Amino acid sequence: MAGRFEKRGDIGLIIINNPPVNAISVAVRSAIVDGLNQASADAGIKGVVIVCEGRTFMAGADITEFKGAPKHPTFPEMLDVVEAFAKPAVAAIHGTAFGGGFEIALGCNYRVAVASAQVGLPEVKLGILPGAGGTQRLPRLIGVEAGLNAIVSGDPIPAPVAAKAGAIDKIVEGDLLEAAIAFLNDKIAAGGPHPKVSQIRIDPASLPADFFEAARKRIAKERRNLFAPQRIIDAVEAAVNLPLEEGLVRERELFVQCATNSQSKALQHVFFAERQVAKIPGLPADVKPRDIKSVAVIGAGTMGGGIAMNFANAGIPVTVLEVAQEGLDRGLGVVRKNYEASAAKGRITPEQVETRMGLIRPTLSYDDLKDADLIIEAVFETMEIKKTVFGQLDKVAKPGAILASNTSYLSIDAIAGITGRPGDVVGTHFFSPANVMRLMEIVRGSQTAPDVLATTLELAKRIRKVGVVAGNCHGFIGNRMLEGYGREAGLLLLEGATPQQIDGALYAFGMPMGVLQMGDLAGLDVGYKSRKDRDPASYETRATRVADRLVEAGRMGQKTNAGYYDYEPGNRTPKPSALVQQIIEETAAEFQIQRRAISDAEIIERCFLSMMNIGCEILREGHAYRASDIDIVYLNGYGFPAYRGGPMFWAENEIGLATALEKIKGFAASVGPRWWTPSPLLEQLVAEGRGFASVGA
Ligand code: NAD
């Protein structure tokens, strides 16, 4: 039974009970419809309270019903019954009334809530819009601008804030149900009329004439390339201009447009992928994570400082070790500056700056690491230095301490091998800026102990990161695939594209910035230095030749006001450079590459299909558990647009695996087979008509 109807004197109670979150399944919808019908038919009942058992009010639609034919009563059918109900109805809210849950509450005459409750319409996050009256009722209730912003952001609204805005009639204390009944009895005693949101008329003249035009422009900028937010504006416009009944029809049309758009499919993929990523095959459910009460970080450079901030933010004391006082001072200075910048923006209080700085303890002595439960190394990226550091750690760390490396490329097994406790060693690969980027690749070495893995996964959650487990291969998941991305961009430059065309195409695709601009931001000297240590036979030297020449000409990127682009001092806007164009053309001539017109489509396909092909290899080798994990890496670590689902989902759904294979074979013929040999996994999937969902865990 997902719900039941009870009588309490002359008040009817519709009590929903559909654990764990009272998702609005067909059974719940039936219980609401049945309860309201019974209350209508019973002359002894003067009003109804809708309330939920368990930890929350109805937290939203039942997402498992998204696929498949609609079940009756559908959401709109149920809301019609709520709307037509002629006696006063109160929604009694605790926990989270999101999506359909909030829409049911909006259909009632009154809403009461406990102070800790939250309401909201988060549908936009799944690429859809509230399809059960939310876009019509919320703006009527709290105003057009506030309603529009709430629906476009999809963010939760704390009950006290919602009450101030007028979406909740009363914040109640004590027992919720008793308070709701008392509230309803008062309203009944007062004799009504009992307000209905549907009866509120918005006067279009109360809005600036260009309100919706301006909203479209603003939201197009803030939610770049997104389909649903624009349809939400259309729906809210209908709420202003049409009576409720017609507005609901319009809302439904727009809902269907969103639900059938590729973006909603991609965003739903992301939703499920995020829930799956922490499920690790072969990790027994009863593994007990180790206790992490204190942490140490070695190296206070770009990454070490940011990594330390994550722990201080979570209230975990963290010792930071450097080789010299100067490095410590510089590193902690940057951390303080970051915190102060957050405080200046009002994101944290000045007291929090001090509390967090107080949790970070600088040291030059390994002795100070002996009590740490977890030690993360973030020193220079060379095996020799890493080995020295881990040798020292092996001597000072207490038994059972987890020893982690933030290495970008190096073998975790090789690092673990120099310690006497390889089971305690794991990779924790953060992304820059480490205090901001959500991704943490967790590199599982061949000997990493199950409880070390479980601890690291749990810790990722504690510091609000998305932990993705990767196998131990060169560059793990993210950086290994990135190589294909950078290589194709480098080759396309020589073949005829300009930096601005490449970056423009990638930006239009949805990346936060193009790969060359990204190089300028990170510093071209970083890659240059790392290539010095690499065997030239292991990578495409033609693709990096322009970057090499830029660095040798002193063009390191933004920090020198010159890289692939020119920059004016203090200004990050890239300007095309005639000198760079000359270097590109000279380099193309050097390799006897005939320059030609390149289409934007070729830029996208070469950059991202090369990535996907490497992703297939990672999957085939078992270095990722599932294709959706690879997508999560790219969404959270590299800014791949969520509305395209990630590089694997994009290839499968926007290109199609069979077409992708054909294109890869085409590039093998035109660009050369060295980097364009199709992954055997891709060939197998296409031959067998299977998709990525059939691979891995
Ligand atoms: P960085 O040069 O900014 O910082 C390294 C710091 O380590 C320096 O402050 C240096 O003084 C210190 N250090 C060097 N040897 C040491 C030792 N023996 N003991 C203590 N401290 C020592 O480098 P970074 O960019 O922070 O990179 C650190 C690690 O993180 C590397 O393995 C790198 O591959 C990885 N990483 C970097 C990024 C990035 O974008 N910068 C992203 C992910 C991972």
List, for residues 655-670, the tens digit of each pLDDT value.
999 999 999 999 999 9
Among 470, 493, 504, 644, residue whose Cα is nearest residue 582: 493
Mutation probe of ligand 1 site: the residue of 298, 368, 408 with most atoms within 8 A of C-beta: 408
Among 170, 290, 148, residue whose Cα is nearest residue 223: 148
* Distance, first Cα to last Cα, the chain: 34
Question: Has this prediction a pTM greater than 0.75?
Answer: yes
Residue 331 CA, closest ligand 1 atom number: 9
- 318-321/89-93 β-pairing: unpaired
405 lines ligand 1 (CB under 6 A): no
**Which runs of E-coded beta strand occur in 356-508?**
360-363, 374-377, 402-405, 425-430, 439-444, 466-471
Q: What share of the chain is helix, strand, coil (3-state, %, to 5)?
A: 55, 10, 35
Residue nearest to atom 25 of ligand 1 (CA): 302
Cα separation, 210 vs 547, in Å, equals 47
CB atoms within 10 A of CB 209: 9
Residue nearest to atom 9 of ligand 1 (CA): 301
Q: Residue 131: phi, psi to the nearest 5?
A: -105, 10
CB atoms within 10 A of CB 252: 16
Cα separation, 606 vs 618, in Å, equals 18
Helix (H, G, I), strand (E, B) or coil at 345: coil
Distances (CA, A) of 576 to 498, 501, 516, 562, 581: 9, 10, 12, 10, 8
Cα separation, 125 vs 151, in Å, equals 10
For 380, half-sphere exposure in the C-beta direction (CA atoms, 13 angstrom radius) is 10
Cα separation, 496 vs 174, in Å, equals 71
378 lines ligand 1 (CB under 6 A): yes
Residue nearest to atom 29 of ligand 1 (CA): 378
Among 294, 336, 332, residue whose Cα is nearest residue 315: 294
- 466-471/439-444 β-pairing: parallel
301 lines ligand 1 (CB under 6 A): yes
Beta bridge partners of 16: 3, 52
Distance of CA 125 to the CA centre of its chain: 10
Among 403, 446, 480, 491, residue whose Cα is nearest residue 637: 480
CB within 8 Å of 200: residues ≥ 6 apart = 140, 141
Q: Are 478 and 286 in contact (CB under 8 A)?
A: no
Query: Which amino acid does the sequence have at 340?
Result: E
322 lines ligand 1 (CB under 6 A): yes
What's the pLDDT score for residue 67? 75
* Ligand 1 centroid, distance to 610 Cα (angstroms): 29
Cα separation, 247 vs 443, in Å, equals 52
Cα separation, 359 vs 372, in Å, equals 13
Q: Residue 571: phi, psi to the nearest 5?
A: -130, 130
For the record, the structure tokens of 127 come out as 């690429």
Cis peptide before 73 (omega within 30 of 0): yes
Sign of CA dihedral 297, 303, 305, 306: negative
Helix (H, G, I), strand (E, B) or coil at 173: coil
Q: Identify whether 354 is a catalytic site residue.
A: no
Q: Which residue among 103, 237, 441, 495 is the active-site one?
A: 103
DSSP readout, 585-619?
HHHHHHTT-------HHHHHHHHHHHHHHHHHHHH
Tokens 């549908």, located at residue: 123
472 lines ligand 1 (CB under 6 A): no
Residue 377 CA, closest ligand 1 atom number: 29
Residue nearest to atom 44 of ligand 1 (CA): 408
CB within 8 Å of 560: residues ≥ 6 apart = 554
415 lines ligand 1 (CB under 6 A): no
For the record, the structure tokens of 565 come out as 């682009």
Domains of the chain: 3-259 (3.90.226.10), 295-474 (3.40.50.720), 479-590 (1.10.1040.50), 600-694 (1.10.1040.10)
**Cβ-count burial of 566 within 10 angstroms (0-12 exposed, 13-18 middle, 19+ buried)?**
middle
Distance of CA 82 to the CA centre of its chain: 35
CB within 8 Å of 474: residues ≥ 6 apart = 409, 411, 480
Query: Which amino acid does the sequence have at 537?
Result: A
CB atoms within 10 A of CB 585: 15
CB within 8 Å of 33: residues ≥ 6 apart = 73, 77, 78, 81
Q: Identify whether 602 is a catalytic site residue.
A: no
Residue 324 CA, closest ligand 1 atom number: 11
Positions in the chain whose pLDDT score sits under 70: none
What's the pLDDT score for residue 530? 85
Give the sheet arrangement for strand 157-158, strand by strand.
Answer: 96-98, 118-120, 157-158
